[in-house]
Structure 1
C-alpha cells in the first residue's frame, strides 16, 4: 500500500510540473506580459546556467568554499574570460577543459 501511494505521489507531482510548464508555453501568446517582466525574462537562461555550474565548480569533495587549490576554480575563471572575449561556446569548452585537465595532470 505504501509503495502504491509513492507512485501516485510521483505521478501527481509529474502531472503538476507538466501542467505548470505547459501553461507558460500555451498561454504565452495569449497573455499580455508587461514590458518590464519581458525584459527580466531575458536573463532567466543565464541565471539558470549559473545556478547549475557554480555549485559544480565551487564544491570540492562535498565541501563548499573558494579554494584556489581546487583546479576547477582557475579553469572556470579562464573559461569565463574566453567566453567573454570570444563569445564562442566551443572554444570556451575546449579551453576550459584543457586548462582543467592540464592543472589536474600537473597535480594542482
Structure 2
C-alpha cells in the first residue's frame, strides 16, 4: 500500500509542476543559467535509462564481456555516430550489430 501512495504522490507532484508551467506559460522567465541547465535534462534522463540496460542487461551486476550483445551494439553505435553524425544510420547499424551478435555469434 505504501508503494501505491508513493506513486500517487509522485504523479500529483508531476502534474502540479507541469500544470503550473502550462497555466503560467510565458509569464515565468527562467534565468539563463537555469534555461541552459534544463537543456541537458533529456540527455541526462535518457542516459540514466539506457546505461544500466547496456552494462547490466540481466540486472545481476556488470556484464563487461564480448558475450553482452547490448554492449557490443552500443559500442558500434557510438563509433558510427561519432564518425558520421547520422542518426538513422546509427540506429540501423546498432540494430544490425545487436541482432547479428545475438543470433549469429552467440548462437553458435
Q: What is the TM-score with the length of structure 1 in the denominator?
A: 0.76
Number of paired residues?
Answer: 104
Distance 1:27 1:64, change over 3 A: farther
RMSD: 2.6
Give the Cα–Cα distance (whole angstroms) in 1 for the partners of residues 20 and 85 of structure 2.
33
For the pair 1:24 / 2:9, whether they are aligned, the reply is no
Given that 2:55 and 2:71 are in contact with CA atoms closer than 8 Å, whether structure 1 keeps it comes out as yes
Give the Cα–Cα distance (whole angstroms) in 2 for the partners of residues 80 and 24 of structure 1.
35
Distance 1:15 1:53, change over 3 A: same
Give the Cα–Cα distance (whole angstroms) in 1 for the partners of residues 65 and 95 of structure 2.
17
Q: What is the TM-score with the length of structure 2 in the denominator?
A: 0.76
> Which of 25, 31, 34 is the aligned partner of 2:31?
34
Task: Tell me the CA shift for residue 68 of structure 1.
Answer: 2.0
Task: Tell me the CA shift for residue 24 of structure 1.
Answer: 2.9
Runs of 4+ aligned structure 1 residues displaced above 6 Å come to none
Q: Which runs of 5+ in 1 are unaligned?
A: none
Given that 2:57 and 2:63 are in contact with CA atoms closer than 8 Å, whether structure 1 keeps it comes out as no
Q: Which runs of 5+ in 2 are unaligned?
A: none
Which residue of the partner structure matches residue 106 of structure 1?
105
Distance 1:39 1:63, change over 3 A: same
